[in-house]
Amino acid sequence: MLRIGFDIGGTNIDVGAVDEQNRIVARRKQPFPKGRPYTETVKIMEDLVYELLQETGSTTDDLASIGIGIPGSINVSKGTVISAHNLGFYDVPMRAAVGERFPATPVFLDNDANTATLAEFRMGALRGCRTGVLLTLGTGVGGGLILCGEVFEGGLGHGVELGHMCIDRQGPLCTCGNRGCVETLCSATWLEEQGKKALSESPSSMIGSLARGQMDRVDGKVVIDAAKTGDPTAMDIFDRYVDQLSTALSSYAVLLDPEVMVLGGGVSHAGEFLLEPLRQRVKEKSFFHYTHKIVAAEMGNDAGIIGAALLR
Backbone phi, psi, residue 178, to 5°: -90, 175
Residue 200: per-residue pLDDT: 86
The Cα 88–Cα 278 span in angstroms is: 33
Residue 215: per-residue pLDDT: 65
| Residue range 277-289: mean pLDDT, rounded | 93
Q: Is residue 274 very low, low, confident or very high in pLDDT (cuts 50, 70, 90)? A: very high
The set of residues, in sequence order, having a beta carbon less than 8 Å from that of 120 and lying 6+ positions away, is: 126, 127, 134, 262, 264, 297, 298, 299, 303, 307
Has residue 158 got a pLDDT over 90?
no
Q: What is the DSSP string of 28-62?
A: EEEE--TTS-HHHHHHHHHHHHHHHHHHTT--GGG
pLDDT digits (tens, 9 = 90+) for 53-77: 999 999 999 999 999 999 888 999 9
Instruction: Provide, for the chain, the percentages of residues in helix, strand and coil under a 3-state DSSP scheme, each rounded to the nearest 5.
Output: 45, 25, 35
Residue 217: per-residue pLDDT: 85
- Candidates 202, 183, 195; CA nearest to 220 is 195
Residue 66: per-residue pLDDT: 98
Equal fold, 2-117+302-310 vs 127-296: yes
Has residue 85 got a pLDDT over 80?
yes
Q: How confident is the prediction for the chain on average, in pLDDT?
A: 94
1 vs 11, residue with greater confidence: 1
pLDDT digits (tens, 9 = 90+) for 126-144: 999 999 999 999 888 989 9
Q: Amino acid identity of 174?
A: C
Q: To which H or E segment does residue 132 belong?
A: strand 131-137
State the CATH architecture for 2-117+302-310: 2-Layer Sandwich (3.30)
Structure-derived torsion over alpha carbons of residues 85, 89, 94, 100, reported in degrees to the nearest 10: -160
Fold category of 127-296 in CATH: Nucleotidyltransferase; domain 5 (3.30.420)
Has residue 212 got a pLDDT over 90?
no
- Domain definitions of the chain by residue range: 2-117+302-310, 127-296
Has residue 213 got a pLDDT over 90?
no
